[in-house]
Amino acid sequence: MKSQWHTYQNSLIKAVTTSNKKINHEFNCGEEQDIRFVLFNHFVVSIHQGDDFYSQEIIYSLNMAQGQEEVDFRAFAQARLSEDGRVDGTVDIHDKNAVLEHYLNKISAIYQCLFDSLHMPISSPLTKYQGDFMRNMAAMNQYVIADPKLCIGCNTCMASCSQEHQLHGLQSEPRLQVMRNRLDSAPVMCHQCEDAPCAQVCPVNAITRENDAIHLNESLCVSCKLCGIACPFGAITFSASTPVDIPRDCNTSKALPAPRAPRAVSPFLDCVPGLRAVAVKCDLCSFSPEGPACIKTCPTQAITLVTAS
């Protein structure tokens, strides 16, 4: 097999060095029985026979060029050289063009990977990240946050929220609740989620995204409480109120009296017969040109409005 191997070597070396194709190869003198090409001035491809000198295997291996040393070549393909002077049974080792095409097919997968790794713009991943970030920013909702280090737990935010909504004919239930532990306090309110789980489960589409915020139309609410269950922050509460004036010609007066209230379970799940529970959540005081009332009245400026800008 010695003569066949040398013929294959010569044909491949001549084909690569004289090729008019841009294949980014440079011949590199290797071991006596090896052929070595440097790809893209960085990677080394070694073509050699199998472990046995009389082996019919041709092994294609790859390593990175590291100074003058190349170690740990890893095989990625192989071919079979027969005594009749053919590679893989079809390629004549005397035909340098056929030998070159066969070789390029063998390394095509790894060649493309090496090409992509070296020619992909360095800024490409960052550019993609920046593009995704800017798209997310464009879709970002406004929301209110509170700094627990500044909050003193005075409940002024809750009082101003209640008064502001009551003045505009809405439920007087505060849209935020001050939570406390042994060390800190801070109001908890709607996070105006981009994906808004509450809006996804509302059966009557009472919760929608408008003007970079998630709004709840209280007149459409049917008191199913699904939004409060879906909210991951517990920021939706329910406020019970008496119905609007009942027309005299309706049959409500003939209806049976309301049953007794069931045993209390929790403020969220309890219901009072005759009272309509309406979901309430932070709406950023969108009806007020001055913005959220809680921000205006916080004495320590612990509450701020976050926007995309």
Give the pTM: 0.48
The answer as to whether 27 is a domain residue is yes
Distance CA 264, CA 214 (A): 31
Give the bridge partners for 26, in sequence order.
38
CB 193 within 8 A of CB 201: no
Q: How large a percentage of the chain has pLDDT more than 90?
A: 17
- Tokens 């309890």 correspond to 270
Structural domain boundaries enclosing 155: 139-244+270-306
Identify the CATH number of the domain in which residue 227 sits: 3.30.70.20
Q: Which residue has the tokens 């990677």?
A: 43
- For residue 216, how far is the Cα from the chain centroid? 27
Residue 181 exposed, middle or buried by CB count within 10 Å (0-12, 13-18, 19+): exposed
104 and 161 belong to one structural domain: no
Domain presence at residue 258 = no
What number of residues does the chain have? Answer: 309
> Which of 82, 117, 152 is the last residue in one of the domains?
117
Between 51 and 16, the higher pLDDT residue: 16
pLDDT tens-digit series, residues 163-172:
888 888 887 8
Q: What is the DSSP code (8-state) at residue 219?
A: T
Cβ atoms of 63 and 73 within 8 Å: the answer is yes
Do residues 151 and 300 touch, judged by C-beta distance below 8 A?
yes
Q: Count of domains in the chain? A: 2
Q: pLDDT, tens digit, for every residue of 129-178?
A: 445 544 444 445 788 889 988 999 899 999 999 888 888 888 788 999 99
Same domain, yes or no, for 81 and 175? no
